[in-house]
Structure 1
Amino acid sequence: MSSLEQDRIGIIGAGAAGLITAHTLIQDGYKHVEILTRDPTPGGIWSAGRVYPGLVINNIQGEYRFSNLEQPPPMLSEAGDIRLSGQDLQAYMEKFVELFLPDRIRYNKEVISVRATARGGVDLPHDDNHVWTVMAEDVTTRVVETREYDKLVLCTGGCSEPHYPLGLSPKEARLAGFQGPVIHSSDYASRMQELLDAVKPASEGGGTLLVIGGGKSGSDIAAHMADKGRKVTMIFTTIDAAVAAPIPLPRWLVRGRFFSALSPHIELRTSLERFLHTTWVGSKLVHGFWDAYQWLAFKTLQVPNDSPLRRAPKLFWSLHANNQGSGALGLFYRLVNEGRINVIAPARVSSFSEDAQAVVLSDGRLVYADAVVLGTGYLSSWNKIFDGNVTVADISLQELGLGTHTLHPTSQYYRWDYTTLENSPPLSHPAIKSATSSIYRGIVPAKNILRRNFAINGAIGTTNVGYAYETTAHWIASYFRGDKFLRLPSSVEEALASASYNAAWLRKRYPDQHMCANDSVRSDFALWCWPQMLDTLLDDMQLPTMRSGGNALTWPFQVIDVKEIAHLKEEREALRTSMS
């Protein structure tokens, strides 16, 4: 029998990346594919336990769907915005599983370790003759079971392991004597009622809910609680950049290649991109556009010039941009302007007070609170799986090539003479100068490139999740199958050099931010220029790129649709047949 009949493929994570990867591999002919997830429902960060009424996703309509399943449009807002709610997206994931992945997901299974073991035994692996031994604990019964896979796909993403800053964890709050609930934003949906009970409505003389952090989750929660009549205070040093316009922008602008052309990519493939990013005039046009777009957002959201809400990075350099639509969706900004959310910024919380129901700021000030929500980000979801409780047979992040390492010797010679990248923000994280990732294309650890038994989907930061994860899934399928048409490095050294080149580019493009993200979400970034990045994956498979069409003058304005990649399986099959 072929490996399609024999190979057991395990996928860790049932978010969007895990679901489309499983479906693609099954469609390619693999018979033994299963997903492990610690959640009781599919969706990952959009599973039923993590969404709540009023939560709106940060993507525009059509950017969080797959080519084989239409996504029912949500109701229009009063301003004409079309945006999915978290519950809409969770229902979409449930429908996808019902139609394409019945009986393929093992729910409530939290992976606690991954080991490389000799085939048929528990000894240390010899050469490439090994399997992946996965230990998973049932979160309901606490029973630990072991499963073996010939190939493994990591789809755990970067938003599943809460990060608690030193001095701010729930345990440290209890030790300091803080009496109210202290939760991470990832637990907000499941513990919302606990917060509502702890902080009574302001109209009844209730206390204060404190939200720490300036990311989307923090602002969403602050707005949600304030909208329920609670007194809310929010503390941050900087807040995510926002995009907004007084009217819904046309589809060709928000769903075409216009924004991507104005964001420099590691490779400038068109004459327009070369003009925009390597000439003085082009640079002025690019930065003028992004500055104007950010100004428009502030004006649309009615953010005063002296407001702490302007403590956001420049949109051009930022990796995070909260889409507020036409402004009607900007509830958080409206509530801040109305004084219903109190903002303290710039400020940093250092600990809980031992003498009062309060937190202590770095300057010594006390901020009183009856409950605290930590919107403080996430740790890598890979740490616990590969480096937690490591035994002699466990494989570590460094051994597999998932961790960071010192810069490649050739990195000092990499240069991108882009005028748009001059006058970049200063580095504030010293580690950025000495550490780099080595994941080829953001999909395969360079050290493991020749084995074709391990891949990652969902670790690339992008705005069009559906298109990105589906294209990556096809790349992984060809990689696992050993397709001759898939262009790959011929050696580990070549893969390491390529990954190092891309890491150097990310340090150039996002000098202060890409190292701030955790390992499981920073293998690559393509916030605005995701079409170019995905064209690279299509080109690796020797498939047509720039599928939205257009000529030399019109290509930036063609609407991109995930249906463009609906027949990648058939296209790959045709190539496979022609090369057999």
Structure 2
Amino acid sequence: MYTLSSANTRHNLHKSVLVIGSGAAGLITAHILIKDGFTNVRVFSKDSQPGGVWEYSKIYSGVFINNLFGDYRFSSLEMPKHPSRDPKRARLSAEDMQFYFEKFADTYLRDRISYETEVVNIARPKPPFDSDPPNWVVSYLSKGADQVDRMGFHRIVLCTGGCHKPRVPATFSPSAVQAAGFRGPVVHSSQFRSNLDAIFSVVGPSNSDSPSSSACSLGHNNEPGVVVVIGGGKSAQDIATYLANEGHRRNVCMVYEKTDAFIASMTQLSDRIRKSRLMGVLSPHIELRTSVERFLHRTWLGGKIVRGIFNAVSNYSFKSFQIPSTSPLRLCQDPFWSLRVNDEVCRRGNGFHVLANLGKIHIEAPARAIGFGQDKRSLVLSSGKVVRADAIVLATGYESSWVDLFDAKTIDQIGLGKYPPQYVPLDSYDDEWKGYTSMRDPPSALPANQEWMSCIYRGIIPARSILKKDLAINGAVFSANNGYVFETTAHWISSYFLEDPFLKIPATVKEAIQTTERTSAWLRRRYPDMLHWTNESHSSDIQFWSWPQYCDDLLRDMGLPHGKARTGGNALTWLFKPIEVGTIKELGRERVMLRMQSV
């Protein structure tokens, strides 16, 4: 069928494409490009195996993902069952994800991925050019090589994600640790798995099945040591749970100001709630395209219903885990205003909230760790308290992965950074969403939020480079359904590189930038106290609850069926119709048909 496409499309199929990263976004992007007919697609991966954050060397037992088994996958491959998987377990584990991505890479990308190949720089080529100059020169270091190699590519897709470069506070930098003379290991959560032996060498199994808060106090040298986990996010919870669970039972203390919000129930909820458009419609969106959304977010009664439902969900989640009103576990984000929301599915007997509720994980909150104690084996907290620390795990987040790939000048030229508004003032869009009744009484906006001005169109293309058609991003849009979003995005990118005439993109750089400025203004309003902890390579756009509307926008750009025309349902049922990844399985064929019609 490609023989019927335009000469321009056929020409682009022979342009070389480098996908950087072998996580979920990198794997599906490379697969879609190859399936679409691109003849020269390569993947460079710093890791030794596929999977990204779920790569074999980074995972450990007991980590569960915010999905049920089979939810987080791509349309071309069902999720195989891991040999050691408990058939009674509904939750999706880290081992399941690692097993799936290895199967996916082996099935579709064998011999396409160069593992242990670290990209150290990406730049535009400098004169003199050859007769067919590439758009990019990529410098990379292969395992065992003693010098950097270079290779030219016509197209690049950044799939490096936002969990690549650890964010380490200055207080706990290697130089600060050395200056303080702290005696134990201090590791970032991303290196937790590889540093288990170092941690366990100073923190032995607890003498009690129920470690008490006294174990974390000073002066108890008969105890086998304490691990302090700094942070309240999902990584911190997973690590604390692993340490406190059966088989290890280490004394573990968590220090945080706020922990992630969570959603849970006593029993597993129906797919009509978990996998439908319901949560997306209940969450305010930049465009209210349906009458239901306009009612919920622009009327007094609708706003009351939306906020009431979110509050009820939060209260029911606390009730499901029997968390007392005075518990530090109540110091969590508001699920309506937050990006940090975990889906616990249903109560687990050995999960984080249960263990913390039982006292098997000691919590110091609200508090921040502000330095080391003078005894060189403790931490000083902002509350004035000093807690014992034989080992420290920093679950303090990540920085952008792009800053190590481009120099500052290239980042600015491409448009990957954060910028002040170029065409309209920051408050130009205030009146547009002023009538959203569901967003009344927001949290206080942090000053740092006002500096956040991403210029990534649709979260995929830097607006400044949109007409060059040689650079795209996948995996940086923050959403609650990565599998569906990454696959839909991969098709959009393929059409963009092919220069498909049916793909609607801004006609000028100015138009693209203006669109991104409006999106940034919306995000500042939607998440007033959240954007300060995100990074560019993890939040090129934020479509957390509203991922169905985002995918509809991408499909609309490609001139393909979207909304209930894609996922099914009628005027009464479309809101509760489960959105299955199988509904996008034929996107490639659908795009071919559009391409044929445009000849």
Q: CA deviation at 1:260?
A: 1.0
Local SS of the residue matching 2:152? strand
1:46-65 superposed matches below 5 A:
46-65=54-73
| C-alpha contact (below 8 Å) 2:189/2:236 kept by paired residues | yes
Paired position in structure 2 for 1:125: none
* Deviation sequence 1:288-338 (CA, Å, 0-9, x none): 100000111111112110111111121110101111121116611111111
Paired position in structure 2 for 1:281: 301
535-544 vs 48-57, which deviates more?
48-57
| C-alpha contact (below 8 Å) 1:407/1:436 kept by paired residues | yes
| Cα separation, 2, equivalents of 1:303 and 1:35 | 46
| Cα separation, 2, equivalents of 1:210 and 1:315 | 26
1:115-126 superposed matches below 5 A:
115-118=123-126, 121=129
* Deviation sequence 1:139-170 (CA, Å, 0-9, x none): 44453211111000000000111010111123
| C-alpha contact (below 8 Å) 2:134/2:153 kept by paired residues | no
269-278 vs 348-357, which deviates more?
348-357
User: Does residue 15 of structure 1 match 2:34?
Assistant: no
Relative to 1, partners in 2 of residues 1:101 and 1:285: Cα closer, same or farther, differing over 3 Å? same
* Deviation sequence 1:178-217 (CA, Å, 0-9, x none): 1111111011122222212220111183110000000000
1:511-522 superposed matches below 5 A:
511-522=528-539
| Cα separation, 1, equivalents of 2:232 and 2:95 | 23
Paired position in structure 2 for 1:155: 159
| Cα separation, 2, equivalents of 1:61 and 1:497 | 40
| Cα separation, 1, equivalents of 2:312 and 2:81 | 30
Relative to 1, partners in 2 of residues 1:526 and 1:5: Cα closer, same or farther, differing over 3 Å? closer
* Deviation sequence 1:220-244 (CA, Å, 0-9, x none): 1001101121001100011000110
- Matched to 1:401, the amino acid is G
Residue among 232, 238, 254 paired with 1:220:
238
Residue among 453, 469, 475 paired with 1:458:
475
| C-alpha contact (below 8 Å) 2:453/2:517 kept by paired residues | yes
Paired position in structure 2 for 1:370: 390
1:302-313 superposed matches below 5 A:
302-313=322-333
| Cα separation, 2, equivalents of 1:383 and 1:362 | 32
| Cα separation, 1, equivalents of 2:286 and 2:86 | 38
Paired position in structure 1 for 2:517: 500
Q: CA deviation at 1:58?
A: 2.0
| Cα separation, 2, equivalents of 1:166 and 1:304 | 35
| Cα separation, 1, equivalents of 2:422 and 2:531 | 18
Q: CA deviation at 1:61?
A: 3.2
| Cα separation, 2, equivalents of 1:129 and 1:421 | 51
Q: CA deviation at 1:397?
A: 1.6
1:94-243 superposed matches below 5 A:
94-118=102-126, 121=129, 131-203=135-207, 205-227=223-245, 228-243=248-263
| Cα separation, 1, equivalents of 2:13 and 2:346 | 51
* Deviation sequence 1:78-115 (CA, Å, 0-9, x none): 9x762111011101000001110010101111111111
Paired position in structure 1 for 2:3: none
| C-alpha contact (below 8 Å) 1:63/1:463 kept by paired residues | no
Relative to 1, partners in 2 of residues 1:207 and 1:142: Cα closer, same or farther, differing over 3 Å? farther
* Deviation sequence 1:399-437 (CA, Å, 0-9, x none): 110100102442532121211111111012x13224300
User: Does residue 412 of structure 1 match 2:420?
Assistant: no
Report the number of matched residues.
Answer: 568
Paired position in structure 1 for 2:216: none
Relative to 1, partners in 2 of residues 1:399 and 1:354: Cα closer, same or farther, differing over 3 Å? farther
| C-alpha contact (below 8 Å) 2:259/2:331 kept by paired residues | yes
Local SS of the residue matching 1:6? coil
Local SS of the residue matching 1:59? strand
1:244-283 superposed matches below 5 A:
244-283=264-303
| Cα separation, 2, equivalents of 1:500 and 1:139 | 41
19-28 vs 169-178, which deviates more?
169-178
Q: CA RMSD in A?
A: 2.0
- Matched to 1:451, the amino acid is K
Local SS of the residue matching 1:560? coil
Q: CA deviation at 1:5?
A: 5.0
Local SS of the residue matching 2:293? helix
Percent same amino acid at aligned positions?
A: 43
Q: CA deviation at 1:370?
A: 0.6
TM-score for both structures, normalised by structure 2: 0.91
| Cα separation, 1, equivalents of 2:394 and 2:542 | 25
| Cα separation, 2, equivalents of 1:116 and 1:355 | 52
User: Does residue 25 of structure 1 match 2:44?
Assistant: no
Paired position in structure 2 for 1:570: 589
Q: CA deviation at 1:76?
A: 8.9
| C-alpha contact (below 8 Å) 1:301/1:330 kept by paired residues | no
| Cα separation, 2, equivalents of 1:579 and 1:551 | 31
| C-alpha contact (below 8 Å) 1:73/1:84 kept by paired residues | no
| Cα separation, 2, equivalents of 1:321 and 1:579 | 44
1:284-299 superposed matches below 5 A:
284-299=304-319
* Deviation sequence 1:447-489 (CA, Å, 0-9, x none): 0000000000000001111110000000000000100000010
| Cα separation, 1, equivalents of 2:16 and 2:415 | 22
1:423-438 superposed matches below 5 A:
423-428=441-446, 430-438=447-455
Local SS of the residue matching 2:198? helix
Relative to 1, partners in 2 of residues 1:498 and 1:26: Cα closer, same or farther, differing over 3 Å? same
Paired position in structure 1 for 2:210: none
- Matched to 1:28, the amino acid is D
Mind listing any 5+ residue stretches in structure 1 that lack a counterpart? Answer: 123-127
| C-alpha contact (below 8 Å) 1:400/1:447 kept by paired residues | yes
| C-alpha contact (below 8 Å) 2:166/2:190 kept by paired residues | yes
| Cα separation, 2, equivalents of 1:497 and 1:96 | 38
Mind listing any 5+ residue stretches in structure 2 that lack a counterpart? Answer: 1-6, 208-221
Relative to 1, partners in 2 of residues 1:233 and 1:489: Cα closer, same or farther, differing over 3 Å? same
Q: CA deviation at 1:69?
A: 0.1
| C-alpha contact (below 8 Å) 1:110/1:138 kept by paired residues | yes
1:376-391 superposed matches below 5 A:
376-387=396-407
Residue among 396, 411, 420 paired with 1:397:
411
| Cα separation, 2, equivalents of 1:453 and 1:400 | 11
Paired position in structure 2 for 1:550: 569
| C-alpha contact (below 8 Å) 2:457/2:463 kept by paired residues | yes
- Matched to 2:50, the amino acid is P
